[in-house]
Homo-oligomer: A and B are copies of this chain.
Amino acid sequence: MRKLSAILVLFSVLQVQAQSDSAIIRSIYTQSLTAGKGYDWLEFLATRIGGRLSGSAEAAKAVKWAETTLNTIKPDAVYKQLCMVPYWKRGAAEKAFLIKGDKKTEVNICALGGSIATPKGGLTAEVVEINSWDELKQLGEKNALKNKIVFYNMPWNQTHINTFEAYGAAVEPRWAGAFRAAPYGAVGVVVRSAASSVDAFPHTGSMSYKDSVNKIPACAISTIHADLLSQQLKLRGMPQVKFSFTQNCVQLPDTSSFNVIGEIQGSEFPDEIIVVGGHLDAWDNGQGAHDDGAGVVQCMEVLQIFKTLNIKPKRTIRCVLFMNEENGGRGGAKYASEAKLKNENHIAAIESDAGGFVPRGFSFEGDSLAIAKIRSWQNLFTPYNIYSWDGYGSGADVGHLAGNCKVLMGLSPDSQRYFTLHHTAADTFDKVNKRELQLGAATMAAMVYLLSEYGL
């Protein structure tokens, strides 16, 4: 009987606690939906600063803007963390053509981040289409790629429901295409954009070279023009199709930049740190609205919500706006190494870097028991259509904390629209829906609230 009473008491304590948590979470969503500042912040970052690749003047403006804006929230501290970053510049706009005999058709390309320029006057050569790595090897070993431009046309797998799964496979030619083709004598690389849609926007993104391999220029071609090129290559009786492209990019010496950090100190366990992070840098060809302006302002909004609602977190909340996620990850690495150096105790780090679309849940990596504790809170999120708790992973920036943070998490927004605009000129502010952005910020803030109350 005593046991039963104890259970009943415990149950009613849990009930009250759950009610109070649910009331606080409701107030967090209401605050974000009715008075959130993230959308206006994002308008400034995306439309007034725009693309802001590491090392650029725009990236420096973004750092300044972030510091100033974080200060308006009046957290306990705002500071910058110096880090050295690569500085790649696109230079004058790219140009590319399909050439059949004396007929030239302009197509849309963009240099891949990190690529070298073409020779002055451009690079023109016959094209060989490659649909698989096996095919590359076979043709390469037959000497069929010598002095050719290799056209990687590996299609997007539309059967995945989560488009990030398709991206994982599609991105390989972008990253490795140049250093894999160069040993066979290829002179350049054109990669089908890693995109879920067929349209005229080329998608940039990082590529890599190997020191031991000849560097050749690499670009992405829009999917509609990839289809055109492929179709032209397949037509019989045509003169051999050539591809011609000019790009003017250059890798300058590393330069200094910053992570920007805002922090609310924990009232009971200030040494237990919860990070919310996004990345300040963005590709130069768009406005970086979804990638990752959205994540940046959502993380700032978490602090804003705590301050406005006067919620005093028991544990420290740190909003970290990372530099250089796109082409180096130096900001994430710097933050993690400083944390280790200072022997800081990170209990959780949540990244928002999958677009400012309607939130669906969280992904996780790290300690299983701690993850199970977090999942036990999921009913609190059901009223907000947050139901996805099984995804694996976190984010490229907070990922550097692996092994030094109990749980790493990613906010998981709906993925259907992301790869229509990711790393393109179409990643603009008008593609962001205000309520979707605000729901994402509220979802992060609610999670941070529970983490700060109950720890891991």
Confirm or deny: A204 has a beta carbon within 8 angstroms of a beta carbon on chain B.
no
Confirm or deny: A435 has a beta carbon within 8 angstroms of a beta carbon on chain B.
yes
Per the bound structure, the CA–CA distance linking A362 and B113 in Å amounts to 43
Of B158, B360, B388, B417, the residue contacting A33 (CB under 8 A) is B158
What residue in chain B is nearest A434 (Cβ atoms)?
A: B197
Confirm or deny: A436 has a beta carbon within 8 angstroms of a beta carbon on chain B.
yes
Confirm or deny: A34 has a beta carbon within 8 angstroms of a beta carbon on chain B.
yes
Confirm or deny: A433 has a beta carbon within 8 angstroms of a beta carbon on chain B.
yes
Residue contact B387 to A416, C-beta cutoff 8 Å: no
Confirm or deny: A414 has a beta carbon within 8 angstroms of a beta carbon on chain B.
yes
Q: How many residues of A contact B (CB 8 A)?
A: 27
Q: Closest CB of chain B to A109's CB: distance in Å?
A: 23
Confirm or deny: A29 has a beta carbon within 8 angstroms of a beta carbon on chain B.
yes
Confirm or deny: A231 has a beta carbon within 8 angstroms of a beta carbon on chain B.
no
Residue contact B387 to A435, C-beta cutoff 8 Å: no
Confirm or deny: A383 has a beta carbon within 8 angstroms of a beta carbon on chain B.
yes
**What B residues does A439 contact at CB under 8 A?**
161, 416
What residue in chain B is nearest A419 (Cβ atoms)?
A: B435
**What B residues does A416 contact at CB under 8 A?**
358, 433, 435-436, 439
Q: Mark A382-416, 1 if CB is under 8 A from B, else 0.
A: 01110110000000000000000000000000101
**What B residues does A417 contact at CB under 8 A?**
433, 436
What residue in chain B is nearest A417 (Cβ atoms)?
A: B433
Per the bound structure, the CA–CA distance linking A444 and B436 in Å amounts to 24
**What B residues does A30 contact at CB under 8 A?**
159
Per the bound structure, the CA–CA distance linking A161 and B25 in Å amounts to 13
Per the bound structure, the CA–CA distance linking A416 and B435 in Å amounts to 6
Per the bound structure, the CA–CA distance linking A158 and B434 in Å amounts to 11
Confirm or deny: A196 has a beta carbon within 8 angstroms of a beta carbon on chain B.
yes
Per the bound structure, the CA–CA distance linking A30 and B161 in Å amounts to 9
Q: A358-B416, A414-B358, A414-B414 are in contact. Are A161 and B385 (CB under 8 A)?
A: yes
Per the bound structure, the CA–CA distance linking A388 and B383 in Å amounts to 11
**What B residues does A387 contact at CB under 8 A?**
387
Confirm or deny: A247 has a beta carbon within 8 angstroms of a beta carbon on chain B.
no
Residue contact B433 to A159, C-beta cutoff 8 Å: no
**What B residues does A435 contact at CB under 8 A?**
158, 163, 196, 416
Q: Closest CB of chain B to A142's CB: distance in Å?
A: 32
Question: Considering the complex, which residues of chain A in the window 110-161 have a beta carbon less than 8 Å from any beta carbon of chain B?
Answer: 158-159, 161
What residue in chain B is nearest A438 (Cβ atoms)?
A: B158
Confirm or deny: A420 has a beta carbon within 8 angstroms of a beta carbon on chain B.
yes
Per the bound structure, the CA–CA distance linking A197 and B39 in Å amounts to 12
Q: Closest CB of chain B to A165's CB: distance in Å?
A: 12
**What B residues does A29 contact at CB under 8 A?**
159, 161
Q: A385-B388, A435-B196 are in contact. Are A33 and B159 (CB under 8 A)?
A: yes
What residue in chain B is nearest A383 (Cβ atoms)?
A: B161
**What B residues does A433 contact at CB under 8 A?**
416-417, 420
Residue contact A34 to B161, C-beta cutoff 8 Å: no
What residue in chain B is nearest A197 (Cβ atoms)?
A: B434
**What B residues does A197 contact at CB under 8 A?**
434
Residue contact B360 to A34, C-beta cutoff 8 Å: no
Question: Considering the complex, which residues of chain A in the window 150-184 have a beta carbon less than 8 Å from any beta carbon of chain B?
Answer: 158-159, 161-163
Per the bound structure, the CA–CA distance linking A436 and B357 in Å amounts to 13
Q: Closest CB of chain B to A161's CB: distance in Å?
A: 6
What residue in chain B is nearest A163 (Cβ atoms)?
A: B435
Given contacts A196-B435, A416-B433, 7 further A-B contacts (CB under 8 A): A34-B158, A161-B384, A161-B385, A161-B439, A358-B358, A358-B414, A360-B385
Which residues of A come within 8 Å of B, CB atoms?
Answer: 29-30, 33-34, 158-159, 161-163, 196-197, 358, 360, 383-385, 387-388, 414, 416-417, 420, 433-436, 439
- Per CB-CB distance, the 5 closest pairs between chain A and chain B, nearest first, are A387-B387, A33-B158, A416-B435, A416-B436, A30-B159
What are 17 of the A-B contact pairs (CB < 8 Å)? A29-B159, A33-B158, A33-B159, A158-B435, A162-B385, A163-B435, A196-B435, A197-B434, A358-B416, A385-B388, A385-B414, A387-B387, A416-B433, A416-B436, A416-B439, A417-B433, A417-B436
